[in-house]
Amino acid sequence: MSESYFEFGTAADRWDRAQMFFEAKQYMTAARILEDLVEEVPEQVSPRLLLARAYYHSARLGRAEAELRAVLERDPVEHYARLMLGRTLERQGRNAEATGHLRMAAAFSGDFDAYRTGR
């Protein structure tokens, strides 16, 4: 079977391509590339975090939550993943769960005003 444009190239090529689509707000396309990349290098946090962001921006909140939890399993003090998880939970109407993650994000980053709940 031949490779498509999305699957073609090295992991670095695909990472660059995914970032390009994400920056162009083509979140579904970025996610398509990143899904394979994350499967290939599951231990790396950056592709998984960008995949979570692509899911978040395309309103695939359950998938975003799963990826963010996977990021936090690998790096529990990743403040941006905590922030994103809090915001994802808020968008799902799970404010009580979101509060703890938003507070931890604030503590890890030192920016308490940026991570207030109820935004």
**Residue 12 to residues 17, 67, 88, 100, Cα–Cα distance (Å):** 9, 20, 28, 35
Give the model confidence (pLDDT) of 58-113 as tens digits: 999 999 999 999 999 999 989 999 999 999 999 999 999 999 999 999 888 877 66
Give percent of the chain above pLDDT 90: 79
> How buried is residue 108: exposed, middle or buried, by Cβ count under 10 Å (0-12/13-18/19+)?
middle
Asked whether 30 and 22 are in contact (CB, 8 A), the reply is yes
Question: In the structure, what pLDDT confidence band is assigned to residue 116 with cuts at 50, 70 and 90?
Answer: low
**Residue 55: C-alpha distances to residues 10, 22, 50 (Å):** 23, 11, 9
pLDDT at 119 over 60: no
Predicted pLDDT at 112? 65
Give residue 104's pLDDT: 92
Tokens standing for residue 42 = 């599951």
